[in-house]
Structure 1
Amino acid sequence: MAEDVICLLDYLGWTGDRELTIVGISLGGMIAQELAFRIPNRICSLVLAVTTPGGPIWGNFPPLAGLLALTKLVFTPDPVKKVWTVLPMLFPLAWLGERAVTDPHAEFNGNTPDNAKAKTNYDVQAEGFLRRVAITKPQLFLGHISQMAAALTHSVSRARLAHIARTIPKIALVTGDDDHLVRPVGSERIKVAMDAGLKVDDRTRVELLRWEETGHGIHAQREGEFNELVERCMREGRALLDAGWTPTRDA
């Protein structure tokens, strides 16, 4: 899939040095690692969220709650019934029960952006999920299985992660603490491997953030904070380049 991204970038003409900010979430973070290893010279900043470096298949299975939810979803064709499984899989139950601060789907459902109707996060996320399902071609069974197989077989070595750290100006790793699909330790493993390839005073370019009471759907649950993180990484990556930062050689 990383090769597919490179083909698309080439087609679009996005081939210059340090033109890209890559944001990879979950399986997208796994793909982003492969992409960053292949074309580091094109990337200015990299955000890897709720993801893992992978490894042996037996270590790549999600926690039991996530595994049971994914299995149930394979055999649940009704989108409305899927909601009952998807949302608790992605978000903490306590957060789902809270009043939503904003409603990003307000233009479609008659609410207001600041949620004057006092919908819960569950209400807002359920509406968003069902709307996406309504306008998206359903995933085939083979596609579902192939996606899980890709996640289970993902593996990026410590040496390759160290290479990524040495060749990309700014990297942020962000995870929650209540993730049913990818264990937070995955982000910690990436940080350790990347730090191993850098001098001590250079390790601040790779930062690890762990947000409390946050689930796998981190970009939706912490929408404002996540957007601010991406924008900050873009600025810091560009600032490093403007200050003369250059990649270091592999050890």
Structure 2
Amino acid sequence: MDITKSSPLSRLFRGGSPFEALSEHIRQVDRGADLLINFFQASSDGDWNRAQTLYREISDCEHTADDLKDRIRLNLPNTLFLPISRSDLLELVEAQDKIINKIKDIAGLMTGRRMQFPATLLEPINKYIQVTIDTVHQARKVLEELDELLESGFGRNISEVIEDMVVELGKLEKRADEEQVAIRHRLLEQESELPPLEVMFLYQIIDWIGTVSDRAERVGSRLQIMMAR
């Protein structure tokens, strides 16, 4: 019997793999990450109409991801005849969901307060955001290998490919940490020239961007745990 075609989750989402819903979920997360780059550009330009539109699009991604998460939770049976446990699948989708939640938080706070980074910080913040979004892209790529893992029964060659991808994800997350340290240092040097309340919220956004890369890396960690069992 082909478990990829007969599992309840597979039938529910009309795909050949029980991980189709997880893949669709991470694609919504990934789309929200791409929108965040455009959002920062709009905020830097002071184009708040476009920023508001992008925030709504990010919110749409978050709502769609929430719907997918709920469908997975409600329709995943207590026992799956799969090489992965139900609890592992639920923890994985929860890890993915936290990424888009934080992306929405970032865009929401900046929209509500019409926040802009000082011109002197635009280059480092854009670099920081890009490497953070790269971690989300890498997390999506890792998830998209799940179908092959299932088909191969976690065969050695595919597992090695996934391990390499997870290692790369860890490297990207480390780069994001380094960029965070750099921009925090740059902001520290300029604190006395900026309103204290503005400085506080700038640090908040910097920290939240770091949370996005941390949570993307956690998706890879969850996958490693799943493969090890």
TM-score (norm 2): 0.29
Indicate the structure with greater strand content.
1
Indicate the structure with greater helix content.
2
